[in-house]
Amino acid sequence: MIINIPENSDFSIHNIPFGIFSTVDRTPRAGIAIGDHILDLAAVAELDVFDFNTAVLEKDTLNDFIALGKSITKKVRVDIQHWLKDDDSVLAGKPELFVPQSKANMHMPVAIGDYTDFYSSIEHATNVGKMFRDPENALLPNWKHIPVGYHGRASSIVVSGESIHRPKGQVLPKDASSPVFQASARLDFELEMGFITGKSTEVGESIATNDAEDYIFGMVLLNDWSARDIQKWEYVPLGPFLAKNFASHISPWVVTLEAFEPFRVSGPQQEPKVLPYLEYEGQKNYDIQLKVGITPEGSDEKTVCHSNFKYMYWNMVQQLAHHTINGCNINVGDLYGSGTISGKDENSYGSMLELAWMGTKPIKMNDGTERKFINDGDTVTMRGYSEKDGVRVGFGEVSAKILPAK
């Protein structure tokens, strides 16, 4: 092996995720995470080993590289894997091609033109329905027929490590008849996965479930922040708005769909039967272990959630097929959120709204304080990886600190 990879690293030889990094002497460019290092793809390109226009590797987003198509991006990934394993390859004896991750700054991996957030966990949707509607009829009539979603705000999606300020907005206090303007008192995280499209379509085109994976380049971890008190007041009748669009965080490394091939699993049984355009063949869910930790300022991290992407009722190919069935066009770099990922057990719920059950079951931190929602100074960190038969593929983390409202 050209470079040492620590045991249990998310960035194993089986992964080869793509991202954008910079250092004090390297402008933002494409790289691959391998162990604790980054392989500088722009520097590798100078060895004249690629058969495409390598100027795309010097860009500050991956969009143009992804747009080359999977025939090229998959070959780059496979070639890198072979070169890293071969002590006599083009990478041998060239330490300048590698940068320690600790000395690099990570940037947004793609320029996101559009962002759609789905609502595809039946456990999460049921929990929310029990809290805010009739517990006996928690799911709305359409939920088992369509992958419900809404269009979010792409401009406020930021990369892991960037702190954000607590949002402000209108809130309706308990037993009040008029709203007040204040900083959100119920700031929440939402544990999600996001996928990024790698091909564009024209207005009027639709993508079939059988073809959808050809359009999905890879995945990221996604923290879709939510201001629950603002959301409760504003969401009727048109759904999420200011409670959702102040910020969302993604992990900096995009893990390709190909890296998760060994971790395919069957999804939940869908009843009633879906309409023909939502039918699919094969295993389209993925066994990706997820967890969330909260670190109060000056204290240690407390893990509050263990969940798994395999729980999702609606899968990615169904989401993309439904998104485009009306002729909605998509573009390279668009981001699609899974919706909060919750399981059946209480410790697998993917939001504080559920974990603390609307504040009725506060969670104790390691410093003795309690959390119903997220406090100023708290850092929320999400991690995700798959592991099977000695093969581990992961995302690293998406992490962010909450600052007081401006």
Parallel, antiparallel or unpaired: strands 289-295 and 379-388: antiparallel
Q: Is 313 annotated as a binding residue?
A: no
Scored b (16 or more CB within 10 A) or e, 86-105 reads: eeebebeeeeebbbebeebe
Is the bond into 272 cis (omega within 30 degrees of 0)? yes
286 is an annotated ligand-binding site residue: no
244 labelled ligand-binding: yes
Q: Is 26 annotated as a binding residue?
A: no
The verdict on whether residue 190 carries a ligand-binding annotation is: yes
Q: Number of helices and strands (H, E) in the chain?
A: 8, 26
- The total of other beta-carbon atoms located within 10 Å of residue 331's CB is 16
Task: List the catalytic residue out of 14, 37, 107, 124.
Answer: 124
Cα separation, 336 vs 45, in Å, equals 31
The annotation status of 192 as a binding-site residue, yes or no, is: yes
Say if residue 340 carries a ligand binding annotation. Answer: yes
The residues, ordered by sequence, that sit 6+ positions from 350 with a Cβ below 8 Å of its Cβ are 121, 124, 190, 191, 192, 290, 292, 305, 307, 340, 341, 342
In contact, 70 and 214? CB cutoff 8 Å: yes
Does residue 228 have a known ligand-binding role? no
Please check if 133 is assigned to a binding site.
Answer: yes
Q: Do the annotations mark residue 235 as ligand-binding?
A: yes
Residue closest to 311 by CA, chosen among 282, 340, 279, 275: 340
Q: Is 248 annotated as a binding residue?
A: yes
Our answer to whether residue 37 is catalytic in this structure is: no
Known binding residues for Ca(2+) are: 117, 190, 192, 224
Known binding residues are: 117, 119, 133, 190, 192, 224, 231, 235, 244, 248, 340
Q: Which residues are catalytic?
A: 124
